[in-house]
Chains A and B, each alone.
Chain A
Amino acid sequence: ETGVTQSPTHLIKTRGQQVTLRCSSQSGHNTVSWYQQALGQGPQFIFQYYREEENGRGNFPPRFSGLQFPNYSSELNVNALELDDSALYLCASSPRRTGGDTQYFGPGTRLTVL
């Protein structure tokens, strides 16, 4: 088990609603990345936060936004939910933003949009 925790575990929303997902990074890690994993697919990068600033973004629309707090925990917010947003949302923390180190993933939040 990694030290990364995510809440909630499962969530059901309807189209058009908004959702906030939370992540606590492993102790000592200042970088948090969020990924979306649809069924049968690999994780897709949404964005990364480093010391409370966005440090890179994947091909996701602006209705996906995030925050990182001084304790390096993070939130992912999704507005105007669409059916295709149904997926497993994964948070990963690492001790630095540079390459060549391990990303420690949390267990994920399963979001279902009806």
Chain B
Amino acid sequence: SQKIEQNSEALNIQEGKTATLTCNYTNYSPAYLQWYRQDPGRGPVFLLLIRENEKEKRKERLKVTFDTTLKQSLFHITASQPADSATYLCALDMRYGGSQGNLIFGKGTKLSVKP
């Protein structure tokens, strides 16, 4: 069965630096890969989606890469701020067409940005 790993449980960085979070998976590549942000006691909030034929996607200070050869996605936050402190979840989107797929989530990486 498909497995997903987010390499770091926790990542501590200084304000202004770039945070890089890693997501690795086994088996076959999904058609899409998504990243979510989750604050304590709240539901996940969608950040970015990248397709298997896209190498990179950007949104403001966020950048996602997707390497289907390495079976890996990297998530970058540039010029990080204390407000970026949260848990970041990687999810494989296993929904193909009308099939009965779903999102498979990693455990998340807890990012702390120190002033």
Q: Mostly helix, strand, loop or mixed at chain A's interface?
A: loop
Residues in B neighbouring A92, C-beta threshold 8 A: 43
Residues in B neighbouring A100, C-beta threshold 8 A: 31-32, 49, 51, 93, 95
Query: Does A107 lie within 8 Å of B42, measured CB to CB?
Result: yes
Query: Does A108 lie within 8 Å of B100, measured CB to CB?
Result: no
Chain A's closest residue to B105 (CB) is: A42
How many residues of B sit at the interface, in one of the four size bands?
A: 20 to 34
Residues in A neighbouring B102, C-beta threshold 8 A: 33, 45, 48, 56, 58
Residues in A neighbouring B95, C-beta threshold 8 A: 97-100
Asked if B96 is at the interface of the complex by the 8 Å CB criterion, the answer is yes
Residues in A neighbouring B99, C-beta threshold 8 A: 56
How many residues of A sit at the interface, in one of the four size bands?
A: 20 to 34
Write out, one digit per residue, whether chain B residues 34-52 have a CB within 8 A of any chain A CB (1) or not (0): 1010000111111001010
Chain A's closest residue to B46 (CB) is: A102
Q: List 6 A-B pairs, minimum CB-CB distance, nearest first.
A: A56-B100, A99-B95, A42-B105, A105-B43, A45-B102, A102-B46
Listed in ascending order, the chain A residues whose CB lies under 8 Å from chain B are 2, 4, 33, 35, 40-45, 48, 55-58, 88, 90, 92, 97-108, 110
Listed in ascending order, the chain B residues whose CB lies under 8 Å from chain A are 30-32, 34, 36, 41-46, 49, 51, 89, 91, 93-108
11 further contact pairs, Cβ within 8 A, besides A40-B107, A103-B34, A106-B43: A4-B43, A33-B102, A33-B103, A56-B102, A58-B102, A98-B98, A99-B30, A99-B32, A99-B101, A100-B95, A105-B44
